[in-house]
Amino acid sequence: MRRASCAHARGLALALLAVTARASAQPELADIESLDPIALARFADRAGDDAVLAALTAEPPSLGAIYAAPYLRAPEETLPRLVTLARGRDPFRAPAAMAAILAIAHGPMLEGMARREAEPLDPVLEALDALADDASAREDLRGAAALARAQLASP
């Protein structure tokens, strides 16, 4: 069951990324070679965690930073901002943020959190619950929020 859930989440994340990437020609994506995971990991490594985190908190937040978030050394640090973006109404950033959250939830991040003494994920889980229950939110984002919440809550 978990394997099917992971495959479904990956498919949903890739679909959200593809829609967002096609619909957007934002200049901050110029440094990203492609949305291929290897290219995104290279971009995240080249830019560094601090620069990506800063770009996530800029106004407007960088789409490149959203795409690169799962590939940081401590991607869990991006979750609070990504959830805020996913709950927003931006037609490009909301689905991109949710795709990044799903990628983080299904990646190896959870195993390294204890070693990094990461903050508890309770506020992120609560925000994902709120998004999953928000009848005014896009249906795909609501479903993805419930899936990400379940994955983050059970390592």
Euclidean distance between CA atoms 148 and 36, whole angstroms: 21
Tokens of 104: 């983080």
* pLDDT score of 25: 36
Q: pLDDT tens digit string along 75-109? A: 999 999 999 999 999 999 999 999 999 999 987 76
Alpha helices in 24-138 (DSSP H): 37-47, 49-57, 63-68, 79-86, 93-105, 109-113, 122-133
pLDDT score for 95? 96
The rounded radius of gyration (Å) of the Cα atoms in the chain is: 14
Q: What predicted TM-score, i.e. pTM, was given to this entire model? A: 0.77
